[in-house]
Amino acid sequence: MQQLLISNVYEGLIAKSSSGDYLPALATDWTVSDDALTYTFTLGDATFHDGSAVEVGDIVSSLDAARGTDSVNPDAKRIALVDTVTAVDEDTIEITLTDRDIYFLDTLGITSAGMIVADGDDTDRANTTNGTGPYTVAQWNKGSTITLERNDAYWGEAPLNKTVVLHYITEATTAMNALSTGEIDVLTAASAETLDFFESDDSVLITAGESTSWMTLGINNANPVLANADVRRAINMGIDKAGLITVIGGNAVEVGSMAVPSDPWYSDLTEINAYDPDGARELLADIAPTDLAFTLTVANNYDTKISEYIAAQLGEIGIAVAIDTVEFSTWLERAYKQKDYDLTMVLHVDPTTLSYYGNPSYYWNYDSAEAQRLASEAKSAATTDERDDKMAALAKLVAEDAASGWLYSPQTMVVASTDVSGYPVDRIANRFPVSSITAVN
Amino acid sequence: MAAPLLCVAATDAAPAARSRAQRLAVAVAQQVGVLVASLLAASLLIFLALHYLPGDAAAILAGPEATAAQVALLEQRLGLDRPVAVQYLDWVFGALRLDLGDSMLDGRSVASQIGEKLQVTVPLCVAALLISVLVALPLGMIAGARHRTWYGHLIGALTQLGVALPVFAVGLALVTVVAVKWRVLPVQGFPPDRWADPAGAIHSLILPTITLAIPLTAGLVRFVRSATIDIVADEWVRTARAQGWSIPSVLMRQGLRNAALPLVAIVGLELAGLLMGSVLIEQVFALPGIGQMLLKDVGNRDIVSVQGTLLALTSVIMIVTIALNIVYTLIDPRLRGSK
């Protein structure tokens, strides 16, 4: 839902292109002070869906609400470094930070915390929307379809289409059939079977989108046995990641840490703790107790092939793995919140997940002073280059430390009819802007 | 002398008639009493089961990045920090006013959501039930009356197959042929405007209805068939045949009434199974029905929504069961007389 509302229905002061550039949105222009603690935005002539103009007061009240102590905004933490939000004059807003935050423009542009609603707006947000974006939600059949209708009074560049209907289909086969009959035009996150089916079909186009997500083998670093980095290294060395990618049907990239090739801080780390079952057995041979047994707690929304593969691979290096499949909410409560697990498996989609290694209370229980220093220096970096250096160092550190296992980075496979173009393919797990989709004929 | 006699007769008849109506009223009142008690018990069971389910709605709602303080704040806003008894009573009294609360996730009214979803599930189940009864009655009677002929055997074998085939496979096969190859019906979904687009809505429901009706029909045919075989062997049928009636006309005139009672009972029992089947069907055809809603809400730990939906479904099934009980009393003179 959030993936659809941001930038289609609601907007922030700025926006971000799919290639990662910051673009003007509600603000036409902005400047950042030399100490990177003061951001000044110039407001444009945007309007809300109800026709009223966006004023500085709306910006102040929205950001204040998101960062307030009683905020339940899911991204509230990202905006926590904001010290003051002030309306300088009727089209200038000044935001000061208590500490430098290199991700601050991202927060304003692409997270819930940066979205702007009218001051004192009493719109019933459960059933209607009053954002500033190019679309309004015309119809929402929960669990089935969402119809986005063009906002004809949109203050910016008009969308290229009038109506976009998003279908929510859980069965891969059903989605595949719907695409082949033309009931839907674009299918995101296509399964391997679907790709095989359409491989030689000229009426559809398959695109591999860049993704910033990682299928992660979460290791509980607080577990007395797993606290030993050698055990974690052995686990990483025991898993043939290339083999796993074949098992899931391809369309994934091998990674050696929590970074993907499109990240500016990426370097190839796949050689660190690479697949070497003999080396893994040697590492384990020096460690007592000799009989290692762990439980792999997995939410039931992931393919069981993956967890079974991991269990089988670790079995070969002498680690017995029992798979405990639980419902997602049980996983969230038990593994994520209470950190009551040995091994787990999660698909992380936040592009900055790497920086979580600097948070010792995150569910990995990874407590490394060096990682914390690098993550905090990256966040308060003065320039993006400096941030990228710190992040690169952090990626290498956690890889060498085997803080987690990084099984693969799935590519987003988009299958679409050749009748349409302009649909987004890159980094669509967090945002899916639809305004440039057009019919070709 | 004639007049007083008539009078006596009249006064004699009146109490008898009244007491029969009274007996019926007592029977209905008893059933309604059972209904109320069962619903209360069901509501308590649903509430407690969900209350002690692992997983925390506030934590899911707050998102994985939320702080403990945020989660606590949400708990307070959702009223989850109140004593269990207060939460239960609040919910039950609300339900009596048909107010099932608002979804924890999106704030929409649960009752109106159920209303929307029932617009898909009820037509689906009712149509599937009607089709299967209409098909199963004649087919089952033919198969029973002529169970030694080749077509009697054929029907018997086909019903075996119909019962054994998984709903999933049948649905996908139908979609592949009718929707993907011939393109006469949609593969999935339901019109966004629902019944404001009646043609679209009906089109969307045809394949799901057939898929749901197939195993149901097969089961009913088997039931009608064996009931017919029993009836044909009955003595009164032999008597009727001796009087020159043909088997089909005996069955049509007498057999139908004899088979009606168990059939109504079976249909009543099938109702719960039908709702279960619709969960799967809605999943295969991406229909926004009550089953799909329930699955998703359970996954999201939207407890308010789940308990409301379960209560509504339980009520529907119980009310239909009680109504069927009352119908039995009306159509079966033996049940009426026994009280």
Q: Looking at residues B29-51, what average pLDDT do you find?
A: 89
A141–B contact, CB cutoff 8 A: yes
Q: What is the CA radius of gyration of chain B?
A: 26
pLDDT at B10 over 50: no
How far apart CA A275 and CA A260 sit, in angstroms, is: 19
A114-123, B19-28, B161-170: the lowest-pLDDT one: B19-28
- For B110-336, give the CATH class: mainly alpha
Q: CB distance A177–B56 less than 8 Å?
A: no
Nearest residue in chain A measured CA to CA from B104: A126
Residues A224-274 have pLDDT tens digits of 999 999 999 999 999 999 999 999 888 899 999 999 988 889 999 999 999
Q: Where are the alpha helices (DSSP H) in A111-203?
A: 172-180, 192-198
Q: What domains sit in chain A, N to C, each tagged with a CATH number? A: 2-114 (3.90.76.10), 140-207+414-439 (3.40.190.10), 214-410 (3.10.105.10)
**pTM across the whole model:** 0.79
Residues B67-113 have pLDDT tens digits of 777 788 888 888 888 888 898 998 999 888 888 888 887 788 899 88
B74: closest CA of chain A, how far (Å) = 7
- Mean pLDDT over each residue of chain A, to the nearest integer: 89
| Phi and psi at residue A323, to the nearest 5° | -90, 130
Query: pLDDT class for B4, splitting at 50, 70, 90?
Result: very low
| CA distances in angstroms from A206 to A156, A171, A191, A409, listed in the order given | 31, 19, 12, 18
Q: CB distance B172–A173 less than 8 Å?
A: yes
Residues B119-128 have pLDDT tens digits of 999 999 999 9
Question: What pLDDT, on the 0 to 100 scale, is given for residue A178?
Answer: 87
Residues A267-303 have pLDDT tens digits of 999 999 999 999 999 999 887 666 889 999 999 888 8
Residues A25-78 have pLDDT tens digits of 999 999 999 888 999 999 999 999 988 899 999 999 999 998 887 777 878 888
pLDDT at B7 over 60: no
Q: What is the DSSP letter of A357?
A: G
CB A240 within 8 A of CB A313: yes
% of chain A beyond a pLDDT of 70: 99
Domain range list for chain B: 110-336
CB B167 within 8 A of CB B212: yes
B253: closest CA of chain A, how far (Å) = 47
Sheet containing A292-299: which strands, arranged edge to edge?
Answer: A252-253, A405-410, A214-219, A343-348, A292-299, A319-326
Question: What pLDDT, on the 0 to 100 scale, is given for residue B12?
Answer: 46
Most confident of A403-417, B4-18, B69-83, B132-146: A403-417
CB B291 within 8 A of CB B283: yes
How far apart CA A81 and CA A75 sit, in angstroms, is: 12
Question: What pLDDT, on the 0 to 100 scale, is given for residue A218?
Answer: 96
Nearest residue in chain A measured CA to CA from B103: A126
CB A113 within 8 A of CB A79: yes
Q: Which residue has the higher pLDDT, B180 or A241?
A: A241
pLDDT at A344 over 90: yes
Q: Looking at residues B125-149, what average pLDDT do you find?
A: 86
Q: Looking at residues B231-246, what average pLDDT do you find?
A: 78
Query: pLDDT class for A84, splitting at 50, 70, 90?
Result: very high
Mutation target vs B (from A72, A139, A363; most B CBs, 10 A cutoff): A72
Residues 6+ apart with CB under 8 A from A174: B175, B187, B188, B284, B285, B286
pLDDT at A113 over 50: yes
* ipTM here: 0.71
Q: CB distance B286–A170 less than 8 Å?
A: yes
Burial of B22 per CB tally in 10 Å (0-12, 13-18, 19+): exposed
Contacts B186 to A, Cβ<8 Å:
181, 183
pLDDT at A409 over 80: yes
Quick check: helix, strand or coil at residue A92? strand
- Pick B192's closest partner by Cβ from A165, A170, A174: A165
